[in-house]
Amino acid sequence: MSNAATMRPGRPALPEWVRRLPEYLMIWVPLLLSAAHLVSFSLWTIWISFTPSTLVPVTGWVGLRNYSAVAASRNWQIAFDNLLLFGSAFVLLSAVTGLILAILLDQRIRGENVLRSIFLYPLAVSFVVTGTVWSWLLNPGLGIQKLVHDLGWTTFKFDWLIDRDMAIWTIVIAAIWQSSGFAMALFLAGLRSVDSDIIKAAQIDGAGPVRTYRRIILPSLWPITITVVVIQLQFAISTFDLVRALTNGGPGIATQLPALVVYDLMFQRSLLGRGAAAAVLMLLILLAVLLPYAAWRYIQRRRAAHA
């Protein structure tokens, strides 16, 4: 063995795999733990969703009974309707807000860095803090409504927080405040990467700024828009902390969302099977968003590779 010659005398040469054991361990243990927990945890939760488990996990098979029980419950139905409303309103409004902010910041204005920091700082704050602060501002007896009343306009009404029909919009407001900056950052990066030669050519052809935006710049932002929408949807589907701090699902169960239903079933009512079923339903909703996105990304990459 050529290696043995370089070894210090008096020591038997260790086999290759023993010498390299530390590096194998450092590479494989963390990666395997991470991969194994993802696969086994998902499969286990899916399995539990088909069992009659309540307080503790038990074996047994109840087919889709947990799913039908969850889907038939008023809690889940309201949560699902809320998710549709919250998801679409929040995603649309935060994307529009982010795009407007990005276009405004793209006008080579002074203080751009300061302004960008202002629009992004909510992302550094936890949803618990955001929810708590907005619960004060939107509380009719404490926040904006009280302020306007104290200023003399006593018929002013802004009590969405305690209004069953409007309470979900308080979550939309807080979520927009928290994450429009994220959309802005992505759009701004997109605006900055538009080929400046094309813009110049359009200007030489006599296109005004509005026309340049509408015809050339905005169409090139499509891929980024889709990314923004998918990421914000992913956030909307798993929203938990924000609602917990802002309305705690109330008034009544008016601002219930799927993540709260899962928590309620698993840890407050101890219905593990149903809780797992609700979690799997959440995963399915997420997949309904992510799979088309993954397919779209795949097609885009193939096209780019062929071009």
Q: Is the peptide bond before 251 cis (omega within 30 degrees of 0)?
A: yes
Name the segment binding another protein (CB under 8 A); options: 10-18, 82-90, 193-201, 225-233: 225-233
* Shortest separation between residue 54's beta carbon and another protein, angstroms: 12
Of residues 14 and 201, the one with the C-beta less far from another protein: 14
The torsion defined by the Cα of 207, 210, 213 and 218, in degrees rounded to 10, comes to -140
Which regions of the chain does DSSP assign to beta strands (E)?
A: none
User: Measured between alpha carbons, how far is 88 from 159 in angstroms, rounded to an integer?
Assistant: 22
- Judged by CB under 8 A, the chain residues 2 through 31 that form the site for another protein are 20, 22-23, 26-27, 30-31
- Judged by CB under 8 A, the chain residues 164 through 183 that form the site for another protein are 177, 181-182
* Shortest separation between residue 196's beta carbon and another protein, angstroms: 20
Q: Pick from 7, 14, 21, 38 the residue near another protein by CB under 8 A.
A: 38
Of residues 168 and 244, the one with the C-beta less far from another protein: 244
Q: Is 298 in the site for another protein (CB under 8 A)?
A: no
* Shortest separation between residue 82's beta carbon and another protein, angstroms: 16
- Smallest CA-to-CA distance from 276 within 67, 131, 79, 6 is with 67
* Shortest separation between residue 271's beta carbon and another protein, angstroms: 12
- Judged by CB under 8 A, the chain residues 59 through 98 that form the site for another protein are none
- Judged by CB under 8 A, the chain residues 190 through 209 that form the site for another protein are none
User: Measured between alpha carbons, how far is 1 from 21 in angstroms, rounded to an integer?
Assistant: 20
- Judged by CB under 8 A, the chain residues 110 through 139 that form the site for another protein are 115, 117-130, 132-137, 139
Number of other CB atoms surrounding residue 93 within 10 Å: 17
Q: Pick from 73, 92, 143, 218 the residue near another protein by CB under 8 A.
A: 143
User: Measured between alpha carbons, how far is 239 from 131 in angstroms, rounded to an integer?
Assistant: 11
The one-letter amino acid code at 74 reads: R
Q: Pick from 13, 69, 229, 286 the residue near another protein by CB under 8 A.
A: 286
- Give, in order, the Cα–Cα distances in Å from 38 to each of 15, 31, 33, 212, 262: 34, 11, 9, 47, 19
Name the segment binding another protein (CB under 8 A); options: 100-108, 152-160, 162-170, 198-206: 100-108
For residue 113, the number of C-alpha atoms closer than 13 Å in the C-beta half-sphere is 0
DSSP 8-state class, residue 287: H
Of residues 11 and 108, the one with the C-beta less far from another protein: 108
* Shortest separation between residue 45's beta carbon and another protein, angstroms: 5
Contacts by residues 299-302 (CB-CB < 8 Å, ≥ 24 positions apart) = 300/223
Name the segment binding another protein (CB under 8 A); options: 69-77, 195-203, 208-216, 265-273: 265-273
Q: Is 105 in the site for another protein (CB under 8 A)?
A: yes
- Tokens coding 196: 């400046």
How many helices and strands (H and E) does the chain possess? 15, 0
Of residues 64 and 123, the one with the C-beta less far from another protein: 123
